[in-house]
Structure 1
Amino acid sequence: MVPEIVIAERAGVGADGHPRPTEDHVVVLDNAVLLLDGATSSDPSQPPGGWYAERLAQRLADDLRAAPEADLTDTLTGAIAKVTSENALRPQRSPSSTVAAVRWLDNRVDALVLADSPVVGFGGFGVDVVSDDRLARLRRRGMLQTGADVRRRRNAHDGFWVAEADPGAAAHAVRRSWRRTTVDAVVLASDGVSIGVDQYELFDWREVLAITRADGPDAVLDAVRTAEKQDPDGERWPRPKRHDDQALVLIDFASGGIQGLP
C-alpha cells in the first residue's frame, strides 16, 4: 500500500526576533521522506543553516533515488562528505543541520535521526519515539550557554552529533526498523513542533497523530504557536527564539489514512 503523506511547514523568527525564511526542509521521494532543520548560526561569516540543510537534503534525495534500498547511515555519510567537498566546508566552522529520514521497503520501514528532529512510529508495537536527546541533556545541564560551548561540543564524544562538515557524525545517528505490516503511521517533526510535546506538554505523540488525522497537521502547528504567543518573553518556557521554524510530516500507512490506533 502506498502511504498517504501530509505536510505542514511554517517559518519562525530569527534570533533577533524578526521574520526570515524557514531553515527547515522537507523532501518527499517515492519511498522515503526527509526532514532537515538547519541550525541558526550566530557567525555571520558562515552560510546560514538553511543553506546547508537545503543542499544536504537535495544530495540525500539524489543518492536515495539512485539507491533506494541503500543503508541509511552509509547514504548520509556519503551525502555529508559530498556537500563538504563541493562547498569546501570545514569542521567546527560550517553550518549544520539535523536529519530525520523515514524509508519504506516491501518488508520494513526504516527510521534515522541525527540531532533533535524526532521520528515517531505508531503501530502494533505501540508508540515508538526515535529521538536523539544528547542536545537536550546538555542544555538541561547548562553546558551550551554560548556559541563557543556549542562549537566545542558539536560532533564530540562528550557532546552531541549533527550533520556538519564531519561525515563520521552519521555513524552516531539513532536508528530503528519496524516490520512494514506492523506500521500504522510515522510522524517526522522538527524541534519547533516536538517542543509542544517535550517541553510545553500540550499533547503527547498519540494526540499529535489524532489531531493531524482529524484536523490536519497545521492544527498541531497552531497549538504550539498559540502557546508561544501566550508566553512571548519565554518566562514559562525559556527558549532561544520566540517562534522556531516548524515542520511536521505524517506518513499514514493505514487504509484511507483515517483510522486511529487500536
Structure 2
Amino acid sequence: MKIETAEQAAPGRVSEDRIRVTSNAVVVLDGVTSRRPPERNGGWYATELADELVRLLDATTPLTEVLARAIANLAEAHGLVPGDSPSSTASIVRWDDETIDALVLCDTPVVVFGRTTRVLEDTRLADLRSQPDILAWKNKPDGWWVAEADPAAGHRAVTASWPRAEVRKVVALTDGVSCGVSEYGLFSWEDLAELSLGDVLDRVREAERDDADHRRWPRYKTHDDQAIVRIST
C-alpha cells in the first residue's frame, strides 16, 4: 500500500484533526471541543482516541467494536461525562490481503475507487441541521452519533467491506476537505483519486477566502481544519 497524507490547520488555530497510519490501517479523526475546560478540547480528545484506536486495532475485531472499546476506555480513564465532554468524528480503513474494511462515524467520509466510486458517509448530522437545538440530538437513537463518552456510538457507525482486488484507491477525509466536493463543488470525488493532496487543501482554502462573508456558502466559520489520507493498493 502507498499512503499519502496532507493536513492543514484553520488559520490562527491549532488543528484538532488527527491522522494515524499503521501497517494495516489508517485512522482519521476530527475533534470537537465541548464546554469542558480547555485542557480537554477536541484536539486532546482526538489525540487520545487516535492513540487508543491504534492500540486496539487488530486484524479481525469488527471496527465498530474497536471504536466502542476505545470510547469506553477513554471515558473510564478520564472520567468523561456523556453529553458534556469533548468528542470526535471518526473514520477507519483497515486492510489485509483479501479485504478492505471501513468505518465512518459522523462527517468524516471514506471514498473507495474501483470500477465505480463508492462514498461511505454518515449523513445523520447533516439530515438534522434544521433542528433548532442540534446538540439535543447528539448520541440519541433518532439523532446523530459521534465518539464521546458513550461506547454505544461505536456500534452506531456506518461500515462497509470490499474485496481488495476490486479497489484501486481509498480516500478518508475530514469535513474541512470533503466540503470542497459536497458543498463548494470545486472538484468531484473522482478528482480526489488523482489530484495532489496539497492542491486539494489549497483550493478549498482559496474558495473560502473568496467567500469570507459566507454569502455564497453559508457556514458557521470561514475555515475548518483539514486532513486527508489517500491509500493506493
Q: Same fold (TM over 0.5)?
A: yes
**Structure showing the higher strand proportion among its residues:** 2
Q: Does 1:127 align with 2:120?
A: no
Q: Does 1:170 align with 2:160?
A: no
Encode CA deviations 1:109-158: one digit per residue, 9 max, x unaligned.
0000000000000013x10000001111111xx21x5xxx2331100122
TM-score (norm 2): 0.96
Query: C-alpha separation between the residues in 2 aligned to 1:170 and 1:218?
Result: 31
- Specify the SS of the correspondent of 1:97: strand
Q: Does 1:95 align with 2:86?
A: yes
Encode CA deviations 1:75-112: one digit per residue, 9 max, x unaligned.
11111000010000010011110000000012100000
Once the two structures are TM-superposed, the CA of residue 44 in structure 1 deviates from its matched residue by 5.1
| Superposition map of 1:232-247 within 5 A | 232-247=212-227
Query: C-alpha separation between the residues in 1 aligned to 2:25 and 2:75?
Result: 23
Query: C-alpha separation between the residues in 2 aligned to 1:208 and 1:202?
Result: 11
Specify the alignment match of 2:194 in structure 1: 210
Q: Does 1:28 align with 2:8?
A: no
**Which one of 168, 175, 186 corresponds to residue 191 of structure 1?**
175
Specify the alignment match of 2:5 in structure 1: 7
> What code does the residue aligned with 1:228 have?
E
TM-score (norm 1): 0.86
Once the two structures are TM-superposed, the CA of residue 69 in structure 1 deviates from its matched residue by 2.5
Specify the alignment match of 2:163 in structure 1: 179
- Specify the SS of the correspondent of 1:38: strand
> What code does the residue aligned with 1:239 have?
R
> What code does the residue aligned with 1:240 have?
Y
Query: C-alpha separation between the residues in 2 aligned to 1:223 and 1:186?
Result: 20
Unaligned 5+ residue runs, structure 1? Answer: 14-18, 254-262
Encode CA deviations 1:30-54: one digit per residue, 9 max, x unaligned.
000000000133x253621111111
Moved over 6 A (4+): none
- The worse-fitting range, judged by mean Cα deviation, of 202-211 and 179-188 is 202-211
| Superposition map of 1:53-132 within 5 A | 53-64=46-57, 67-124=58-115, 126-132=116-122
